[in-house]
Amino acid sequence: MRRLLQTTTPLLKTTFQEESSDGGDSDFHFCLQRSSYKDKDLPRRLRQMSNVKSFILDSNLYPQPKADWNEIPPELKAALQHLIRLPTLECLEIMEFRNIPASVLSASGISELIIHHTNFSESDPHKLNNTPPSIVTRLKSFDFYTVPLSGIQALIRTKISGNSPAIDFSSLNSLTVDLCDSNELAGFEEVMKASPNLELLDCSVSLPNSLEEVSPSLAANRSLKTLKISLKVGDDLQDPLLGLPEALSMMSGKNGIENLIITVTVQPENSCRTDGVWGRLDDALSRSSFHGLRHVSLTVIIFHDDIAFVGNSDTEISKEELEEVEVFEESDRRKLKEELEKMGATQFSWLSNAYNIQFEFSVEVIPV
- Smallest CA-to-CA distance from 101 within 65, 66, 77, 76 is with 77
Shared domain for 251 and 329, answered yes or no, is: yes
Last residue of a domain, one of 148, 168, 188: 168
Shared domain for 246 and 131, answered yes or no, is: no
pLDDT tens for each residue of 35-45: 999 999 999 99
- Kindly give, in sequence order, each residue whose CB lies less than 8 Å from that of residue 104, ignoring residues fewer than 6 positions away: 69, 80, 81, 84
Element spanning 229, H or E: strand 226-233
Last residue of a domain, one of 123, 148, 168: 168
Shared domain for 117 and 256, answered yes or no, is: no
Confidence (pLDDT) at 330: 65
Is residue 206 one of the residues assigned to a domain? Answer: no
Q: What is the pTM of this model?
A: 0.85
Is residue 120 one of the residues assigned to a domain? Answer: yes
Give how many domains the chain has, as a whole number: 2
Shared domain for 264 and 161, answered yes or no, is: no
Shared domain for 41 and 164, answered yes or no, is: yes
Least confident of 126-130, 199-203, 230-234, 254-258: 126-130
Shared domain for 360 and 253, answered yes or no, is: yes
Last residue of a domain, one of 128, 147, 168: 168
pLDDT above 80 for 312:
no
Is residue 91 one of the residues assigned to a domain? Answer: yes
Element spanning 86, H or E: none
Burial 293-329 (b: 16+ CB within 10 A, else e): beebebebbbbbbeebeeeeeeeeeeeeeeeeeeebe
pLDDT above 70 for 321:
no
Confidence (pLDDT) at 287: 82
More confident residue, 317 or 12: 317
Q: Are 54 and 91 in contact, with CB atoms under 8 Å apart?
A: yes
Shared domain for 252 and 337, answered yes or no, is: yes
**What average pLDDT score do residues 310-328 get?**
53
Shared domain for 237 and 163, answered yes or no, is: no
pLDDT tens for each residue of 67-118: 999 999 999 999 999 999 999 999 999 999 999 999 899 878 899 999 999 9
Q: What percent of the chain has pLDDT over 70?
A: 83
Is residue 268 one of the residues assigned to a domain? Answer: yes
pLDDT above 80 for 61:
yes
Cα(43)–Cα(36) distance, integer angstroms: 9
Cα(28)–Cα(20) distance, integer angstroms: 8
**What average pLDDT score do residues 242-253 get?**
87
Confidence (pLDDT) at 173: 97
pLDDT above 60 for 20:
no
Q: Are 11 and 18 in contact, with CB atoms under 8 Å apart?
A: yes
Cα(184)–Cα(147) distance, integer angstroms: 7
Q: What percent of the chain has pLDDT over 90?
A: 53
Shared domain for 28 and 164, answered yes or no, is: yes
Shared domain for 253 and 344, answered yes or no, is: yes
Is residue 314 one of the residues assigned to a domain? Answer: yes
Shared domain for 107 and 10, answered yes or no, is: yes
Is residue 175 one of the residues assigned to a domain? Answer: no
Is residue 29 one of the residues assigned to a domain? Answer: yes
Looking at 34-118, list the stretches that DSSP marks H as alpha helix, in order from N- to C-terminal side: 34-38, 42-47, 74-84
pLDDT above 70 for 328:
no
pLDDT tens for each residue of 185-235: 889 999 999 999 999 999 998 877 788 888 888 888 889 999 999 999 877
**Alpha carbon 354 to chain centroid, angstroms:** 32
* Domain of residue 107, residue span: 1-138+157-168
Cα(173)–Cα(73) distance, integer angstroms: 36
Shared domain for 103 and 242, answered yes or no, is: no
